Structure 1
Amino acid sequence: MDENLETCLAQVAERAGYDGPPQAARAVQNVLEVLGAHLVGDDRTDLARLLPKQCRPLLTATAPATEPLTPESFVDAVTDHGSDDLTEARRAVHAVLPTLATMADAALLRRILTQLPPGHAGLFGCTDPG
């Protein structure tokens, strides 16, 4: 396993309280595929470049969404995408998105948040961009 991937999965597992990498990998997959559908252009590709190479297609290969998601519907979409239930989806979102926020610089994170409807900053563990 790639060292960057191991580090990423360890961070997600620690934030979520998962037993190990398999649970973290599933969370990363579910969240990145939903997020990827809601980001476009350079912001999506710039974020993908920061991810371990195995995770990049999860973010970039998703077809664009037809309508934006509120933070609550984002979590619902993760549930629909493969999480066991709403509680597990929340756990995954609150572990994966803050991990992504630590990978991105402030400017990229601000650009990402401006593509998403208001309220998503909290899912990333930060405040809404001004």
Structure 2
Amino acid sequence: MTAPRTPAPAEAPAGTRPAWAALVEEVREAGRYPTRAEAERVTRIVLSALGGHVIGDERVDLAQALPEEAARVVASQIPATRPLTAAEFVDSVAARIEGATPATARWDVSSVLSVLPSLVGDDLITRVLDRLPSGYALLFGRADLTPAA
């Protein structure tokens, strides 16, 4: 008689938050970062910047859907006094990363934000994007379709 199978430590029961390590690994793969430490550093910086710009129910729902460590990073930010355009957002991230250029910061931002839809769901990302100025969709890996004037 064989013993019943017990879940591996990496398996999470249905309905629980994803693991921080899984998020960082997705970012590492998406951004092709050579080390987990670099991917983790970039993830913290980008989520920190995002946390100041997502407000209201979307901020609460995003924090609840993210791994606990990521949720703390998002929720601990003071809301921005004015919304930044997508380009200004990327520039604000560049200012937080030593040696970053706008191009490398855009890569970093997209590497983090593009993994969020599969992690937290497309519906929540759509709600987040509806609250942000236009231009952020591309950072989340989506087409930025705007109606013709």
TM over 0.5, shorter chain: yes
Using the aligned pairs only, state the percent identity.
35
C-alpha distance in 2, partners of 1:101/1:76? Answer: 23
Greater RCO between the two (CA within 8 Å, min separation 6)? 1
Q: 1:110 to 1:58 in 2, by over 3 A?
A: same
Which residue is 1:105 aligned to? Answer: 121
Where do residues 1-130 of structure 1 align in structure 2 (5 Å cutoff)?
3=10, 4-86=19-101, 87-128=103-144
Aligned-CA RMSD value: 1.8
Tell me, yes or no, if the aligned pair for 1:113 and 1:128 is still in contact at 8 Å: no
Larger helix fraction of residues:
1
1:126 alignment partner AA:
R
Cα deviation 1:55-105 (Å, max 9, x = unaligned): 111101100101111111111011112353123322211110011121222
For residues 83 and 47 of structure 1, what CA distance do their matches in structure 2 show? Answer: 27
Q: Is the 8 A contact 2:66 2:120 kept in 1?
A: no
Q: Is the 8 A contact 1:27 1:83 kept in 2?
A: no
The CA distance in 2 between the partners of 1:129 and 1:46, in whole Å, is 25
Which structure has the larger Rg?
2
Could you state the TM-score of these two structures normalised by the residue count of structure 2? 0.79
Secondary structure of 2:33's match? coil
Task: State the shift of 1:42 in Å.
Answer: 1.4
Unaligned runs of 5+ in 2: 1-8, 11-18
